[in-house]
Structure 1
Amino acid sequence: MKPLHMTIVLLLLGISTALLGLSIMLLGPHKHITLTTDFYLITEVLPANIFNLLAALALITSATLAFLSIKKESLIPILGYVLIATSLVPLGSLLSNSMWIASMGGFPVIGSGQGVIKYFALLSIGILLSKRTLSPRISAWLSIFPVLLVLLWIGGMKFTLLEAQGIEALVKSSPFMGWMYGFFSIQTTSNIIGVYDLIAVVLLILAMYYPKLITPAILMSGMVFVVTQSFLVTFPGSLSSETILSTTGHFLIKDLWFLVCLFFYYSALISLEQNS
């Protein structure tokens, strides 16, 4: 990966984990951390505010290492291992029924787990940072897996009424997407977004084998996560004067990790093309 790309990667990681960690610390105990401790049967072991503090410190440590790694490259593998550990804890809780919507049959209809599956991106990033000698082909698949997962899974959910209604307030707040409700119904708008996500999935996979598709694939999928970040500004419930981010903001800021994955994917595909 080019030095400039790595700097951008580290900045995105540092900003996202710093904001998330500080916000969790200020917010105090909340549902998402309790769901995780419930799954591991440790909720009663320590006070809720201690678990909250541990989660916040893990993210703040990640942010500190990310910023320091910009100048001290030797810290990058350590950052990778910290990200792996930080991501594995919440990912394990996906095995809990509480992460899925019971009224719709449970798995694979995802509920609270929508924010948790985003830690797959952090896991992939951690592996890529700690194992920097991986082949371009393996790096490409490793970096794009979480992007494909979230676009396919959450994109697929867009075709359900529950998800269509769930994203309505967010989409309406966006100057980039809100206009769609003037022409289409709530469900049709959600369907269009879902189709866009699925097309991005196809392009990302094809780009692995057809280099000419690299740029459109990266741009199309990247726009999904860039627009998501715009919700931090346009959606009134995203930011908080007391906790920096609300829980909605937590969900949104994690999409910066997918942009990081796309940087790794682009770098891996360029290496593949040069070696072919």
Structure 2
Amino acid sequence: MPPTTNALLFTRASLAIIFLWFGAMNFTPVGEAIVGDWIAGHAFLSALEPQASSAAKALGIYQIVMAGLIGAPLPLGSFRRIGFVMLGIFSACALTALATNPVWLEAEGGFPAIGSGQGVLKYLAIFGLAIWGGSFDNSRIFSNRTSQSRALSLPLMWAGLVIVLGWIGLMKFTASEAAGIAPLIATSPIFAWMQAFIPEQAMSALIGVIEILTALALLGYWFNPRLFRLGLALAAITFVLTLSFLFSYPGAWQADLGGFPALSRSGHFLLKDLALLAACFALLAETRVRRYR
């Protein structure tokens, strides 16, 4: 199969899993609390806080329908495109939270020290992924026909990866971020053994250096395809490792809802990296297509 075929299949499956899961969680107290907090902290929507429960359920229905259209093996590509358009709208709206909600860490001096907005940053790559997935031919889902929207999606996905890795990598040098990732490292069989040799802040800084170097390698998108592919490989490894925390970190699951499959706030944050992994595969597939043309 062409490289874009496999990448598109993985993208559709990943997005369907993420947003079916998120949509279902919006019918639980966890989802209602997350939506309620975002509405309460919104510069213009805080008056709607009493309706947060209804808003969470409405959003959950939207996400489930969107995920179903993207992931289901429907005979007409036009239905899939509707799902990707819905995802693009959702991602664009989510990104506005960076300007409307208190997403900065006051303990670290506020902007640019980002707190809850770290999860919001991921929606830039997801926005690009929505445009990329929706740019394929309506009736022939695996068509390699290049379109203007498909060409636009590539720098958006690239920018999303660079911003997430670079910004969150820089945050690893702060005490707040080091304390935040310490429980994940302590429960991970991949990283826990290192704690005997590397202090908490140094461990965080080391991870930050790797993320920043990965972001710098991704700059090769504009001038060095080999360097860019190295960056994509490092980014993919990073996202696989962060996704592994879903299996090793108990706090990824909401204990008062019985644990798995009920995602906690941390679980919501970690699961989005599945979409970032899909963006890596999409960009890698596109570089291969351009290479052999």
Q: Which moved more, 1:197-206 or 1:40-49?
A: 40-49
What residue in structure 1 maps to residue 182 of structure 2? Answer: 168
Separation in structure 2 between the aligned mates of residue 95 and residue 125 of structure 1, nearest angstrom: 22
What residue in structure 2 maps to residue 30 of structure 1? Answer: 33
Q: Whose RCO is larger (CA < 8 A, sep 6+)?
A: 1
CA spacing shift, 1:71–1:194, aligned 2, 3 Å: farther
Deviations 1:77-111 (A, max 9, x none): 21221011111222212113511112322211111
| Percent identity of paired positions between Structure 1 and Structure 2 | 29
Counterpart check, 1:217 vs 2:220? no
What residue in structure 2 maps to residue 266 of structure 1? Answer: 284
Q: Which runs of 5+ in 1 are unaligned?
A: none
Separation in structure 1 between the aligned mates of residue 186 and residue 104 of structure 2, nearest angstrom: 26
Match of 2:22 among 10, 20, 23: 20
Q: Which moved more, 1:53-62 or 1:162-171?
A: 53-62
CA spacing shift, 1:119–1:36, aligned 2, 3 Å: farther
Code of the aligned partner of 2:281? F
Q: Check conservation: 1:40, 1:93, Cα contact below 8 A.
A: no
Counterpart check, 1:7 vs 2:25? no
Aligned residues: 275
Offset at 1:69? 5.0
Offset at 1:135? 7.6
Normalised by the length of structure 2, the TM-score is 0.85
Match of 1:256 among 274, 288, 291: 274
Separation in structure 1 between the aligned mates of residue 156 and residue 239 of structure 2, nearest angstrom: 18
Offset at 1:182? 1.4
Q: Check conservation: 1:140, 1:269, Cα contact below 8 A.
A: no
CA spacing shift, 1:72–1:208, aligned 2, 3 Å: farther
Offset at 1:146? 0.7
Separation in structure 1 between the aligned mates of residue 273 and residue 243 of structure 2, nearest angstrom: 7
Q: Check conservation: 2:214, 2:235, Cα contact below 8 A.
A: yes
Counterpart check, 1:140 vs 2:154? yes
Deviations 1:196-231 (A, max 9, x none): 101111222225433333543222110111111111
What residue in structure 2 maps to residue 67 of structure 1? Answer: 71
Cα-Cα RMSD: 2.2
Match of 1:58 among 45, 58, 62: 62
CA spacing shift, 1:32–1:115, aligned 2, 3 Å: farther
Q: Check conservation: 2:175, 2:201, Cα contact below 8 A.
A: yes
Separation in structure 1 between the aligned mates of residue 21 and residue 160 of structure 2, nearest angstrom: 21
Separation in structure 1 between the aligned mates of residue 177 and residue 31 of structure 2, nearest angstrom: 28
Q: Which runs of 5+ in 2 are unaligned?
A: 137-146
Separation in structure 1 between the aligned mates of residue 40 and residue 94 of structure 2, nearest angstrom: 9
**Equivalences for 1:113-192 in 2 at 5 Å?**
113-132=117-136, 133-134=147-148, 138-192=152-206
Offset at 1:37? 5.3
CA spacing shift, 1:213–1:42, aligned 2, 3 Å: closer
Q: Which moved more, 1:216-225 or 1:239-248?
A: 239-248
Offset at 1:28? 4.4
**Equivalences for 1:220-231 in 2 at 5 Å?**
220-231=234-245
Q: Check conservation: 2:95, 2:123, Cα contact below 8 A.
A: yes
Secondary structure of 1:175's counterpart equals coil
Offset at 1:131? 3.6
Code of the aligned partner of 2:120? V
Normalised by the length of structure 1, the TM-score is 0.90
Q: Check conservation: 2:172, 2:208, Cα contact below 8 A.
A: yes
Q: Check conservation: 1:20, 1:253, Cα contact below 8 A.
A: no
Secondary structure of 1:184's counterpart equals coil
